[in-house]
Amino acid sequence: MTDWWLQPALLGNEPLRLAAAALAWVVAGVALSAVRRLGLRRVEAWTQRTTTRLDDVLVAVLRSVRPGFLWLLAGWFATRLLTLDPAFDGALRTAAILVVLLQIGVAANVGLQSLGTYYRDREEVDGGRRTTVAAFTFLGRLVLYVVVVLLILENLGVDITALLAGIGIGAVAIGLALQNILGDLFASLSILFDKPFEIGDFVVVDDLSGTIENVGLRTTRVRALSGEQLVFANNDLLQSRIRNYKRMRERRAVVALGVTYDTPSERLRELPDVIRTIIEAQDGVRFDRAHFKAFGASSLDFEVVYWVLEPDYETYMNVNQAIHLELFDAFAARGVEFAFPTRTVHVVPTGGGDAGPAPSSTTAGTP
CB contact at 8 A, 229 and 223: yes
* Coil/strand/helix, residue 231: strand
Q: Give me the pLDDT at residue 131, please.
A: 62
Examine the domain organization and report whether 36 and 159 are in the same domain: yes
Which helix H or strand E contains 251, and what residues bound it?
A: strand 251-259
What is the domain count for the chain?
A: 3
* Coil/strand/helix, residue 213: strand
Q: Give me the pLDDT at residue 285, please.
A: 95
d(CA 198, CA 213): 9
Examine the domain organization and report whether 28 and 119 are in the same domain: yes
Examine the domain organization and report whether 52 and 178 are in the same domain: yes
Phi, psi for residue 259 in degrees, rounded to 5: -115, 165
Count the Cβ atoms, other than its own, within 10 Å of residue 258.
20
Amino acid occupying residue 262: D
Amino acid occupying residue 133: V
- Is position 363 within any domain? no
Examine the domain organization and report whether 312 and 242 are in the same domain: no
Where b means 16+ CB within 10 Å and e means fewer, 181-220 reads eebbbebbbebbeeeebbbebbbebeeebbbbebbbbbbb
Which of 52, 157, 172, 138 is closest to 97 using CA atoms?
A: 157
- Is position 212 within any domain? yes
CB contact at 8 A, 308 and 285: yes
* Coil/strand/helix, residue 10: strand
pTM for the predicted model, two decimal places: 0.51
Q: Give me the pLDDT at residue 366, please.
A: 40
Examine the domain organization and report whether 157 and 177 are in the same domain: yes
Amino acid occupying residue 314: E
Cα 171 to chain centroid, rounded: 28
DSSP 329: H
CB contact at 8 A, 215 and 128: yes
Q: Give me the pLDDT at residue 46, please.
A: 83
Which helix H or strand E contains 44, and what residues bound it?
A: helix 15-48
For residue 292, what is the domain's CATH number? 3.30.70.100
Examine the domain organization and report whether 239 and 266 are in the same domain: no
d(CA 220, CA 217): 8
Q: How far is CA 146 from CA 138, 175, 176, in A?
A: 12, 17, 21
CB contact at 8 A, 203 and 232: no
Examine the domain organization and report whether 162 and 306 are in the same domain: no
Count the Cβ atoms, other than its own, within 10 Å of residue 363.
8
Domain extent for 222: 195-247
- Is position 259 within any domain? yes
Count the Cβ atoms, other than its own, within 10 Å of residue 143.
11
Alpha helices in 156-178 (DSSP H): 161-177
Which of 193, 186, 187, 147 is closest to 54 using CA atoms?
A: 193
Examine the domain organization and report whether 97 and 227 are in the same domain: no
Examine the domain organization and report whether 157 and 65 are in the same domain: yes
Residue numbers in the chain where pLDDT is lower than 70: 1-13, 120-132, 135, 162-164, 166-167, 170-179, 351-367
Amino acid occupying residue 113: Q
Alpha helices in 54-85 (DSSP H): 56-63, 67-79
